[in-house]
């Protein structure tokens, strides 16, 4: 039954996401805004145990990312974006000062309040920037390579996995699965990059595939660290059979910046 629910959720949500990516414009902006708002709320609920801090800091994080997004899309807005981000940091400090609770925890909580919006939101803003300035192809490339990596890692790890990658954080992940994922990323990189006719030397494809293969699973592990610390199985329950939005995009939070940088270095 759980598998059927997972499949049904994917059949509903995946076409919507792909349509927004293909359409671009406000559809893409809306997709990114919804993903950020939900995933950021999930992240703050895992890290902060105070309901008011969860809501207010999540809202401030959205304001910070809205300003940053405006600067990314239009460089003329960058001065205003930087000023807005600075004001958000001040507002975070004021909130934590007014609600001191355990004073010793304030530095860690303030650091988390600044970090979580960048961890969740910045990669998605880079994806939006790629869509606006380069069209949908780079997004498709990242999605395909990340999905293939995850699929290869799952089947290789399930059938051949013996050596645990990080048992305290993610007991099911193995070194054999990681190697399978790297192979999947390399295969997908060459197929998709050539299919999209993106001009790049084979050495760049090799570097991209290897980097994605090794680092996108780290995105999964990074989110698993948050879940282990919060003692929760999933980041949320909004997607039936899948958990939270953050559970679905954790690898992409590493994949989008990698794709963005390779596009700048290789395709410029």
DSSP per position, 155-206 = HHHHHH--SEEETTTEEEEEHHHHHHHHHHHHHHHHHHHHHTT----HHHHH
Give the separation between CA 43 and CA 46, rounded to whole angstroms: 5
pLDDT value at residue 9: 81
> Tens place of pLDDT for every residue, the chain, 268 residues?
566 777 788 888 999 999 999 999 999 999 999 999 999 999 999 999 889 889 999 999 999 999 999 888 888 888 888 999 999 999 998 888 887 667 777 888 889 999 999 999 999 999 999 999 889 999 999 999 999 999 999 899 888 888 888 888 888 888 999 999 999 999 999 898 888 877 788 888 899 999 999 999 999 999 999 999 888 988 988 988 788 999 999 999 999 999 999 999 987 6
Q: Where are the domains of the chain?
A: 1-121, 136-268
Largest CA distance in the chain: 56
- pTM for this structure? 0.92
pLDDT value at residue 141: 94
Residue with tokens 């790297």: 182
Q: What is the token pair recorded at 56?
A: 């207010």
């Amino acid at each position: 039954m759980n598998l059927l629910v997972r499949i049904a959720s994917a059949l509903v949500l995946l076409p919507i996401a792909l349509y927004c990516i293909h359409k671009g414009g406000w559809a893409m902006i809306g997709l990114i805004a919804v993903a950020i708002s939900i995933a950021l709320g999930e992240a703050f609920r895992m890290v902060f145990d105070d309901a008011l801090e969860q809501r207010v800091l999540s809202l401030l994080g959205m304001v910070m990312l809205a300003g940053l997004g405006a600067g990314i899309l239009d460089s003329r807005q960058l001065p205003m974006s930087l000023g807005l981000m600075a004001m958000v940091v001040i507002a975070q400090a004021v909130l934590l000062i007014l609600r001191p609770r355990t004073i010793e925890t304030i530095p860690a909580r303030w650091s988390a309040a600044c970090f979580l919006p960048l961890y969740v939101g910045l990669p998605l803003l880079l994806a939006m920037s790629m869509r606006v300035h380069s069209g949908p192809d780079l997004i498709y490339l990242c999605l395909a390579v990340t999905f293939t990596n995850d699929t290869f890692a799952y089947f290789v790890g399930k059938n051949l996995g013996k050596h645990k990658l990080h048992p305290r954080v993610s007991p099911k992940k193995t070194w054999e699965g990681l190697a399978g994922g790297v192979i999947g990323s390399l295969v997908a990189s060459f197929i998709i990059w050539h299919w999209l006719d993106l001009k790049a030397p084979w050495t760049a494809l090799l570097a991209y595939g290897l980097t994605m293969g090794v680092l996108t699973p780290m995105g999964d592990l990074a989110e698993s660290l948050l879940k282990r610390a919060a003692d929760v199985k999933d980041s949320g329950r909004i997607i039936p059979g899948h958990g939270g939005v953050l559970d679905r995009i954790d690898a992409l939070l590493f994949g989008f910046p990698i794709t963005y940088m390779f596009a700048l270095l290789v395709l410029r």
